[in-house]
Amino acid sequence: MKIIVCVKYVPDAQAGRRFEADLTTDRAGVDGLLSELDEYAVEEALVVADAIGATGERPQVVVLTVGPEDAAYAIKKSLQMGADAGVHVDDPAIQGSDAVATSRIVAAAIAAQSPDLVITGMSSTDGGTGVVPAMIAQRLGLPQLTYAAELTVDAAAGTVRIRRDGDTSVETVEASLPAIVSVTDQINEPRYPSFKGIMSAKKKPVTRLSLADLGIPAEEVGLAAAWTRTVAAEPRPPKAAGTVITDDGTGGAQLVEYLVSHKLV
Amino acid sequence: MSAVLVLIEHDGGPVRKAGLELLTLARRIGDPVAVVIGPEAAAAAPLLAEHGAGRVFAVDATEVLDHLIAPAAETLAQLVAVTSPVAVLLPSSSSGKEVAGRLAVLIESGVITDAVDVELQPDEGSQIGSVIATKSAFAGAFATRCTVTHGIPIVCVKPNAVAPQEAPVESVVEAFIPEISAAARAARITGREPREASGRPDLAEASTVVSGGRGTNGNFAQVEALADALGAAVGASRAAVDAGWYPHANQVGQTGKTVSPQLYVAAGISGAIQHRAGMQTSKTVVAINKDSEAPIFEMADFGVVGDLSAVLPAAIEEIRKRRP
């Protein structure tokens, strides 16, 4: 059995994220990390692998990323956490790809691995569209179970079941394997890499693939081929400083006075 | 005029405000055609007609409602073929975005999510002009304007992008029964437990939100009381949710809900970037925190440095006093 985890290397939210001149995300000039929401996906894959491994053959956990040279760090961190192998799709022609093109690349890389289960995070923390896993599922024709707060895999029966906590109801969703599951940050507590994990990660195999390896023509992805375009990106003007008072017993009343004077109450 | 397909997410209850906002935005582009997906879908039609939907497709087939996401995308793709729209608008909810993503692959079109505004820009190259969506990027640090350059523009719009406007039209309501593929029926919803309703407005749609954070020390009673005095929804910071003080469904921030209400009250929330990502587009921000150095004050229109246990009851009392 094989589990693929899709991970993304993103600019650190604390590091002053910005755009390039062509209005794509600056991925080189800003420190990056493994997208925090993907840590939950890696952790869940390890939990599922351990559970299945306790009574039978432990599934292989393969982490997959698409991104430039530096994105190798997202794989490295996942291997340190305990994943078994990595696949890194890196090709200069990918730069500036939109969600639709990204999903095509990821779907092709997944298909080449023939996994039984694909686990993703609920969204990236940079672009944050949250649509790529749904697009991958659509392309691969796989059942998709999204926003899992709890995941149960029955390897013998070849089924997967999740709990998803919606606004108005809590749903149970089931499907047969192979399937693709996205997990929320409520599903687990991601582990920190242990010293042993960090040392053993150095020996784990990472396969690097180009677009040609996946059979995708370079001119069909990247910024020039994107189906969406950012035509302007402007820093939001800094907010004019507001009024800050120190409570002297009238703070609550002054707050309400502010709301009333601005017709907010 | 040209058709603009609008997905109305429907749970069988009253039509949500976000749907009426989508219809209002759709009228800037063309003639709204509503696609209502949910139980008792046709019941939503009269209110949609009052907001400009001249044609309403009601979809409540069990094979759509009992499976996750994919059937809704196939339904929309089939209605795109029927109505030849110039744009498709969807709610930028978690499910709305997933439907949009699948639709983009199905009809080979570009998709924009998390829009806070949509307008039509005259364009010499095309008959109707370009659909331009405004969104915020990097936790609100940038405002971007985006357009779709291939296919039919698919745009997901966040709640509170516009005030819903009435525009009554004669409406044709049609029950639509889509053909759903076996692949789209592969993820089955096998259980549905309704959550207990709080009786408060929906967090994502509310025009006022009162949120509590670490500074509440786990006591949300005063946060809820202020919310009720203001007719507001209750939110919580990640710290408060992680501590188990409030449900995750109420979390505001990067990994929770993004809100853009008229008024956001942050009680005992420091204002980490993770939280700001979820509320940066609020029109007015009021903060109460005992730490005068808390970053939330940098973005507050009005701030009180003080103890929640003193300021919140005083504010609630003052509101009651001013009510006739």
Confidence label for B77 from pLDDT (cuts 50, 70 and 90): very high
Answer yes or no: is pLDDT of B103 > 90.
yes
A156 in reach of chain B (CB within 8 A):
no
Please report the pLDDT score of residue A82 as a whole number: 97
Phi-psi region of A197 (alpha: psi -120 to 50; beta: other; left: phi over 0): alpha
Q: How many CB atoms lie under 10 A from the CB of residue B90?
A: 27
Chain B, 98 to 137: residues with Cβ < 8 Å from chain A are: 98-102, 104-106, 109-114, 132, 136-137
Which residues, 6 or more positions from A47, have their beta carbon under 8 angstroms from its beta carbon? A188
Mean pLDDT value across chain B: 93
Chain B, 4 to 43: residues with Cβ < 8 Å from chain A are: 11
Which residues, 6 or more positions from A199, have their beta carbon under 8 angstroms from its beta carbon? none
The SS3 assignment for A76 reads helix
* Mean pLDDT computed over B61-69: 92
Task: Enumerate the H helices of chain A as residue ranges.
Answer: 36-53, 72-81, 99-113, 132-140, 195-201, 211-214, 251-261
* Mean pLDDT computed over B250-256: 89
Please report the pLDDT score of residue A240 as a whole number: 77
The answer to whether residues B289 and B269 touch, using CB atoms and an 8 Å cutoff, is yes
Encode pLDDT of B30-44 as tens digits: 999 999 999 999 999
Number of H-type helices and E-type strands within chain A:
7, 14
Confidence label for A204 from pLDDT (cuts 50, 70 and 90): very high
| Cis, peptide link before residue A143, omega less than 30° from 0 | no
* Mean pLDDT computed over B96-110: 97
Q: Which of A14-23, A194-203, B129-138, B274-283 is the least confident region?
A: A14-23
Percent over 90 (pLDDT), chain A: 81
The answer to whether residues B149 and B111 touch, using CB atoms and an 8 Å cutoff, is no
Confidence label for A12 from pLDDT (cuts 50, 70 and 90): confident
Taking only Cα atoms into account, the Rg of chain A, rounded to an integer number of angstroms, comes to 22
A137 in reach of chain B (CB within 8 A):
yes
B53 CA: distance to closest CA in chain A (Å)? 26
The answer to whether residues B242 and A189 touch, using CB atoms and an 8 Å cutoff, is no
Looking at beta carbons, which residues of chain A come within 8 Å of B151?
A: 227
* DSSP assigned state of B290: S
H or E element: which one contains A169? strand A169-176
How far is the C-alpha of B44 from the C-alpha of B10, rounded, in Å?
Answer: 8
How far is the C-alpha of B114 from the C-alpha of B135, rounded, in Å?
Answer: 6
- For the whole model, what pTM was predicted? 0.92
B231 in reach of chain A (CB within 8 A):
no
Please report the pLDDT score of residue A150 as a whole number: 97
What crossing angle do the helices spanning B221-230 and B308-322 adopt, rounded to 10°? 20
The answer to whether residues B34 and B48 touch, using CB atoms and an 8 Å cutoff, is yes
The answer to whether residues B84 and B3 touch, using CB atoms and an 8 Å cutoff, is yes
Looking at beta carbons, which residues of chain A come within 8 Å of B277?
A: 13
Chain A, 75 to 134: residues with Cβ < 8 Å from chain B are: 98-100, 103, 122, 125-126, 128-134
How far is residue B279 from each of residues A97, B131, B198, B315, measured CA to CA in Å?
28, 25, 21, 22
Two tokens, residue B97: 């975005």
The answer to whether residues A47 and A188 touch, using CB atoms and an 8 Å cutoff, is yes
Encode pLDDT of A132-182 as tens digits: 999 999 999 999 999 999 999 999 999 999 999 887 789 999 999 999 999
How far is the C-alpha of A218 from the C-alpha of A211, rounded, in Å?
Answer: 6
Tokens 């692949």 found at:
B183
Answer yes or no: is pLDDT of A116 > 90.
yes
Looking at beta carbons, which residues of chain B come within 8 Å of A179?
A: 186-187
Confidence label for A71 from pLDDT (cuts 50, 70 and 90): very high
Of residues B173 and B11, more confidence is placed in B173
Percent over 70 (pLDDT), chain B: 98
The answer to whether residues B275 and B238 touch, using CB atoms and an 8 Å cutoff, is yes
Instruction: List the one residue out of B265, B20, B292, B308 whose CA is nearest residue B8.
Output: B20
Two tokens, residue B70: 């994919």
Mean pLDDT value across chain A: 94
* Mean pLDDT computed over B210-216: 97
Of residues B123 and B41, more confidence is placed in B41
Long-range contact pairs involving A199-205 (C-beta distance under 8 Å, separation at least 24): A201/A76, A201/A79, A201/A80, A204/A79, A204/A83, A204/A84, A204/A85, A204/A86, A205/A85, A205/A86
Cα three-residue angle B286-B322-B313, rounded to 5 degrees: 55
Best A125, A236, A246, A248 member to test B by mutation, with max B CBs in 10 Å, is A236
- Total CB pairs under 8 A between chain A and B: 266
* Mean pLDDT computed over B242-261: 90
Confidence label for B128 from pLDDT (cuts 50, 70 and 90): low
